Amino acid sequence: MSVLVPLPVAVSLLGAAVSLALHGRVRLQRALGLAVCIVATGTAVALLTIVQREGVVATQAGGWPAPFGITLVVDGFAAIMVTISTLMLLGCLVYAFGQLDAERERLYFHPVYLVLQAGVCLSFLTGDLFNLFVAFEVMLIASYVLLVLGGSQEQVGSGMTYVVINLLASTLFVSGVGLVYAATGSVNMADLVGRLAELPPNLRGGLGLLFLVVFGVKAALFPLFFWLPDSYPAAPTAVAAVFAGLLTKVGVYAVMRTQTLLFPGDGGPSTLILGVAGATMFVGVLGAIAQSDIKRILSFHIISQIGYMIMGLGLYTLAGLAAGIFYIVHHIVVKTALFLVAGLVERAEGTDALGRLGGFARRAPLVGALFMLPALSLAGLPPLSGFVAKLALVREGLALDRVVIVGVGLLVSLFTLFSMTKVWQRVFWGMGPSPEAVPPGARHGQATAPIAGGSRVRPPATMLGATAALVALSLVIAATAGPLYTITERAAADMLDTTDYLRAVLGG
C-alpha cells in the first residue's frame, strides 16, 4: 500500500501540468481540477483507513533507503491532515466555479490551485526537514499567485506583505535546516530523533526554539501573527477560505510534528508553549472584537483559535494532543465554511462592512442558517464540534491543574461568542440597508450589483452547495465526535511513542 503515499502529491502536480497545457479552455480545466481533487481526496481517505488498520506507512523515493533518500511517511496525524485538507480544497474549488469571474480563471487559476494542493499534501507527507522546506516554498509561490491573481492594487500590496514575511521565515527555516545538518549530518526526521538526542542540551534547545519561531510565523502564533489580518481578506473568497482553513494549520502541524518528534519535552506541560497559546488566543480575539468587516473579524479569529490547538501541544499528554488534533479538524471545516458564507454575503451586497449590511437573514434565510451553525461552533456552544474540542482541552487542563490557560480559554470563548453575535446582529438581523448605502459592484473585482432592501438573494448553486456541504460536515464531526476522537487519540499516541514511526522509516 506504500504506492498510495505519494499519489496525492503526484496526481496534483500532473494535473497542474495538464491544466497548464489546457490554458484558455476553462471548462476542461474545471473538469480536470475537480477530477484531480476527487482522486486526491479518495487517496487520502484510503491512506487514513490503511493507517488505522495497519499502522504507519512509509515509502522511499527511487528505492534509496532512509536516511539517504527522500522519505514520504503517513502516520495517524498526517493521514488526518491530508484527508481534511483535500476535502476542503475540493469544496473550495466547487465554490470557486460560481464565485470567480472568467478572467481570473483564465489567468492560470486552476494549475496554480493544483500546485497549492501538491504543496499542502507534501507538507504533511514528507519525512525530512529539507523537503518540508521545499513543500512550504511550493505553497508560498502558489498562494502568492492566487492572492494577487487578476487583482487590485490593494491585493498586490497585501500580497507583498504576505510574501516578504514568509520569505523571511523561509530564510530562517533553511538556515535552521543547515544548522541541523551541520550538527548531525542528517535531515531525515526519523534519523534525527537519535542524532539530536546526542547533542548538548543547550544546542538542542536552541534549535528547537529556532524551529518554533519559524513555524510560529507560518502558524501565526503570538507575537508573529501581524501579517495575517491584512493578507487574507484581500484575496477572492474561494482563495481566502483555503488560506484561512489550511495554510496556517500547515504551520501548526509543523510545530506539533517537530516539537514531539525532534524536540520532545521532559514529558510534562510546557510553560513556554502554554504561554504562547494563551497570548495567541487572547490577542487574536481582542483584534476580532475591534474589527468592522466580516473577513477581518474572521481573520483575527484564525489567530485566536490557533491558540487552542497549541494549548493541546503545551499540555503534552495523550489527551491534550488528541484534543488539539480534534480541534484542528473542527477548525479547518468551521473556519472554511464561515469564509464561504462571508463570500455569499459580499457577492450579494457588494461589501462585507458591517455598517453597510443588515436584514440579510430575511432575504437569504438559508445563508443565515449556514452562518449561525459554524459561528456557534466556533464559539464552542454545545452540542457542536467546537464544544467537544474545547471541552476536551478544558478537562485535560484542569486535570493537570493548568487553571490559568483554562481560564483564558473560557474567557476567549465568551469574547468569540460576543463577536459572532455582533456579526449576526449587524449582517443578518436588523433592518436592511438602503440601496444607496452599498456601492455598486463587489470588492476585489467581483462584478455583482448590491441587492435592494427587500429582494430575495439567490446565490449561485455551486457556491451555496459547497458552503452547505462544509456546514453539514461540521455537523457530522459533532455527531461522530466519539469515533473521531478515538482516531485523534491514536494519532496522539503515535506522536508520543515514536517507535512505529521510526520502524516504518528506518526499518528494524
> Over the stretch 171-199, which tens digit does the pLDDT of each residue have?
999 999 999 999 999 999 999 999 999 99
| CA torsion, ordered 165, 171, 177, 182, to nearest 10 deg | -150
The amino acid sitting at 296 is R
Give yes or no for residue 437 having a pLDDT over 70: no
CB 374 within 8 A of CB 477: no
Contact (CB, 8 A) for 354 and 427: yes
Which range is least confidently modeled, 4-18, 138-152, 194-208, 251-265? 138-152
State the Cα torsion 21-26-28-31 to the nearest 10°: 120
Whole-number pLDDT of residue 145: 87
Q: Is the pTM of this model over 0.85?
A: yes
- Is 50 exceeded by the pLDDT of residue 99? yes
Query: Residue 436: its pLDDT value, please?
Result: 47
Point out the least confidently predicted range of 24-28, 83-87, 110-114, 156-160: 156-160
The residues pairing with 72 across neighbouring beta strands, listed in sequence order, are 59, 126
Residue 450 has pLDDT above 50, yes or no: no
Q: How many residues does the chain have?
A: 508
Neighbours of 63 (CB within 10 A): 7
Whether the CB-CB separation of 113 and 100 falls below 8 Å is answered with no
Per the CB < 8 A criterion, the answer to whether 350 and 441 are in contact is yes
Contact 111, 30 (CB under 8 A): no
Q: Alpha-carbon distance 478 to 384, whole Å? A: 5
Q: What is the pLDDT of residue 154?
A: 67
Tell me the average pLDDT across 112-118.
96
Residue 164: strand pairing partners: none
- The DSSP code for 293 is B
Q: Tell me, letter by letter, the H, E, C secondary structure of 370-427.
A: HHHHHHHHHHCCCCCHHHHHHHHHHHHHHHCCCHHHHHHHHHHHHHHHHHHHHHHHHH
Sorting pLDDT into bands at 50, 70 and 90, what band is 457?
confident
Q: In 10 A of CB 74, how many CB atoms?
A: 29
Q: Which of 288, 286, 422 shows the shortest CA–CA distance to 357?
A: 422
Sole residue written with cell 500546485: 115
- Indicate the average pLDDT of the chain: 89
* Residue 431 pLDDT level (bands cut at 50, 70, 90): low
> Which residue has better confidence, 339 or 441?
339
Evaluate whether 40 touches 46 at the Cβ level (below 8 Å).
Answer: no
List the single range of 107-111, 146-150, 213-217, 316-320 with lowest mean pLDDT. Answer: 146-150
Q: Give the pLDDT score at 63.
A: 80
pLDDT value at 434 more than 60: no
Instruction: Give the closest residue to 167 by CA, choosing from 124, 218, 128.
Output: 218
- The better pLDDT of the pair 437, 454 is held by 454
Gap between the Cα atoms of 231 and 221, Å rounded:
15
Burial class (CB in 10 A: 0-12, 13-18, 19+), 171: exposed
Residue-level pLDDT at 226: 83
Residue type, 258: T
CA separation for the pair 144, 244 (Å, rounded): 14
Q: Is the pLDDT assigned to residue 443 strictly greater than 70?
A: no
Label residue 442 by pLDDT band (50, 70, 90): very low
Rounded to an integer, what distance in angstroms lies between the CA atom of residue 158 and that of residue 81?
28
- 144-157 burial, b at 16+ Cβ within 10 Å, e below that, comes to bbbbbbbbeeebee
What is the residue type of 284?
G
Q: Which cell goes with 151?
A: 487583482
Q: In sequence order, what DSSP letters do the residues of 334-354 get, joined into one string?
A: HHHHHHHHHHHHHHHHS--BG
Cell of residue 202, nine digits: 543547550
Q: Prior bond to 223 cis, omega within 30? A: yes
